[in-house]
Structure 1
């Protein structure tokens, strides 16, 4: 009887082919993904007729909410784009992310700079793979504006404030910022806290040590932000400006503003939207300046390590999803694509390749060198903090920049919120 059943099953399999186990890849609208992934996925699908990949993209801010809801319901993406850190860790703790530790062999792991794995490693287990470009935050400046006013890139925070005064006095907007998007504001505080107190200050915050938000460096950073804002350094309407519209970038590229603090992804956006400005040689850059008397190493970086892709624990075809990410990660074509478009891959040992293949080797070597030499790298606070704290942090930080709450009140609010999570 058993033999009859087996033969019947085999006969049915011949008549009815095995159903394709397709999978979805969720990501944001981002030039790297927009330009490289369609061809990569097309080629993947040609090679894998029973494991078809489908790319679904979202705008940055709506994506975070859609992903939160989908993973909470254990539905939606099989492979999903993320920033690593505390937000991803919260999904791991909820059981929504596949543990990839056993599948990432030495050849795969050694492909990337060691620092890159920090963003997706929790309790010694790996829950994602690097997927795009190095993304520290740096200062961009308009060289033409600086030349006209005989200014030099500031090396200290005091010099930065002096440059702001000079620019404002000359009728030039010193700094552009998309304050309505909130997250661009955190770049100031994460650097200031690190420059003032060193890495342990935010390490204590991320682990929710008692009283961590009351560290003197946090209060002093808030005071320094208030001092900066009092100088009226930003463009009119900065409070409601949205990063995604590109209007802030246009002010900077056209010389109506002099500086912008932003992740290195801004370089690619400027190349796409204002190519003549980049070609002119008037785009300059410098690392975040040191703070006089601060304990933090001025070589430390803040920003996103890179972007990551993770596999959901409920993925319909986990083996194919993991193989998809492996092929992407080990693709030399992908590395060259990034270099030829001005991005900096998080790949080990590419200094010579940057000079050979890089579209903007001076820029790319600058960023790669910063990351290689950084003793410590602060992951963007809105990604490092748990979701329950990340959004309230951005809300209160915006109020601090708007001078609607005082520095001490900002500290007190954040400490109360953190205490509520303990």
Structure 2
């Protein structure tokens, strides 16, 4: 992911339970001789500029070089992709090549026999990838997915808005962040953009607060015990409620999506808010979603999630994950070869040059030129711990409940004490 990513970085993945999907009739692609006519059904979520045309061009180039191979691409918005993939996997018919974040979701797919074990297939070239990037896709010592991107979640902010509000330095503590929100509101600036409808962006706040208050150990213990009803998790909700009570979000945020024309990314890209908590892809989506298609340019800055006074977690522990691909159980023989092409040094350099991807191939990291991507890379390089997104690290039902519960907290429908009981109930049912 990062130009100077430390291989000593710890990847604090929480454990994932193992409830397998019930399988319906088997579907799938055509397998067998790689010289036979084959169609690779490829689903991904790079459904906007700049990566949408890049993936399309790579697929077209591969088709031209391989007679009889057709790559059928289905780009989908994040939530639509998750819904469609769930339907396909429950029917036992996953696409041939599809977006994966690894973790607990991938483990369920592995347990259900829906994805290929790629360990032997990728052995000749997987050594070119940053070891850290493979962690979410490695289950019981076997590789079931290949990452093309690795990054982290942090605060993206509008430097001009901060200056207008008299904020001279990025917040390094939760108290300073709340103070910045108060100052921004006083200056007539919307402090924070949030996609309330999508739910997953809000879970970033709660997860980070758990990390800062309880440390990575709290998340690991909760996964082991299937118990989130502990003081650290309650305190995280209470601290998040401190922010929510300041009413920092844009008008209509509860109905806002992340990537829609009037959503979270567009609000930031059009200068309509001072901050958003989002992953490494934020600048490119802000730009593509903005009216100008350029975003706010050099006005954009980045800072890590702040520390919480008295918390057990270090501010150098980061939260996020990567983007990768898994291969469906009935994928045609050429699918893994196509995946290898997507992970070649040249392909990764091309992807990195867009500013939307932080490459996982070590030789391609020098292609990172965007100043914001470099800031993320530098933060990751000094990270002392790493936690995968909770809605991917945990089994799907638990991850969905985390998103639903945090959304209920933001909407004022549930308290910090109530949401941990709801998440625990689902965890214990798995």
> TM-score normalized by structure 1?
0.87
Match of 1:84 in 2: 102
Gapped regions of structure 2 (runs ≥ 5): 1-34
2:308 to 274, 277, 291: 291
Aligned residues of 1:130 and 1:307 also touching (Cα < 8 A): yes
The answer to whether structure 1 residue 137 and structure 2 residue 145 are counterparts is no
Determine which of 299, 302, 323 is the counterpart of 1:307.
Answer: 323
CA distances 1:271-326 after superposition (whole Å, capped 9, x unpaired): 333455433x21111111111111112111112x21111111122x1x31111111
CA deviations on 1:213-263 (whole Å, 9 max, x unpaired) are 023211110110111111111112111111121423333334332111111
Q: Give distance in 1, aligned partners of 2:223 and 2:101.
A: 16
Alpha-carbon distance in 1 for matches of 2:153, 2:258: 15
> Using the alignment, how far apart are the partners of 2:235 and 2:414 within structure 1?
15
Aligned to 2:382: 373
Which one of 58, 68, 71 corresponds to residue 50 of structure 1? 68
The structure that is helix-richer by fraction is 1
Helix, strand or coil at the partner of 2:255? coil
Q: Residue 174 of structure 1 contacts residue 259 of structure 1 at CA under 8 Å; is this kept in 2?
A: yes
Alignment match, 1:60: 78
Residues in 2 aligned to 1:31 and 1:123: alpha-carbon distance in whole angstroms: 36
Partner Cα distance (1:168, 1:21) in 2: 57
Question: In the alignment, is residue 250 of structure 1 matched against residue 274 of structure 2?
Answer: no
Q: Tell whether the 8 Å contact from 1:113 to 1:348 is kept in structure 2 after alignment.
A: yes
Q: 1:261 to 1:330 in 2, by over 3 A?
A: same
In 2: Cα distance, 1:98 partner to 1:254 partner = 43
Question: Which of 181, 200, 206 pairs up with 1:189?
Answer: 206
Q: Report the 3-state secondary structure (helix = DSSP H, G, I; strand = E; otherwise coil) of the residue aligned with 1:74.
A: coil
What's 1:320 paired with?
334
Query: Are positions 1:228 and 2:228 aligned together?
Result: no
CA contact (8 A) 2:147 2:325 kept: yes
Residue number in structure 1 paired with 2:420: 411
Offset at 1:19?
A: 4.7
State yes or no: 1:389 paired with 2:398. Answer: yes
Distance change (3 Å), C-alpha of 1:157 and 1:323:
same
Using the TM superposition, give the Cα deviation of residue 114 of structure 1 relative to its aligned residue in structure 2, in angstroms.
Answer: 1.5
Asked whether 1:420 is paired with 2:429, we answer yes
Q: Match of 1:363?
A: 372
Aligned equivalent of 1:401: 410
Which protein, 1 or 2, shows the higher relative CO under an 8 Å CA cutoff with sep ≥ 6? 2
Q: CA contact under 8 A between 1:206 and 1:384: conserved in structure 2?
A: no
Aligned with residue 131 of structure 2, among 114, 133, 137:
114
Give the secondary-structure state (helix, strand or coil) at the position aligned to 1:243.
Answer: coil
Q: Provide the secondary structure at the position in 2 that maps to 1:257.
A: coil
Q: Which runs of 4+ in 1 moved over 6 A?
A: none
Residue 94 of structure 1 deviates from its aligned partner by: 0.6
Q: 1:160 matched to which residue of 2?
A: 177
Distance verdict in 2 for CA 1:366–1:128, change over 3 Å:
same
Distance in 2 (CA, whole Å) between partners of 1:276 and 1:351 is 24
Distance 1:277 1:52 in 2: 35
Per-residue CA deviation, residues 47-87 of structure 1 (Å, 9 max, x unaligned), is 21133222122222121121112122222511111221111
Query: Structure 2 CA distance, aligned partners of 1:347 and 1:392?
Result: 34
Q: Give the root-mean-square deviation of aligned CA atoms.
A: 1.9
CA-CA distance at 1:98 after TM superposition:
0.4
Q: Are the aligned partners of 1:142 and 1:253 in contact in 2 as well (CA < 8 Å)?
A: no
Q: Which of these two proteins has the greater Rg computed from alpha carbons? A: 1
- Which residue in the other structure is 1:125 paired with? 142
Normalised TM-score (structure 2)? 0.86
1:90 Cα shift?
Answer: 0.9
Are the counterparts in 2 of residues 79 and 309 from structure 1 also a CA contact under 8 Å?
yes
Aligned to 1:330: 344
Deviation string for 1:353-392 (max 9, x for gaps)? Answer: 43xxx2x2x2222111222222221111111121122222
Distance 1:336 1:21, change over 3 A: closer
- The answer (yes or no) to whether the contact 1:190–1:378 under 8 Å persists in 2 is no
* Compared CA separation, residues 328 and 242, structure 1 to 2 (3 A): same
Question: Unaligned 5+ residue runs, structure 1?
Answer: 1-17
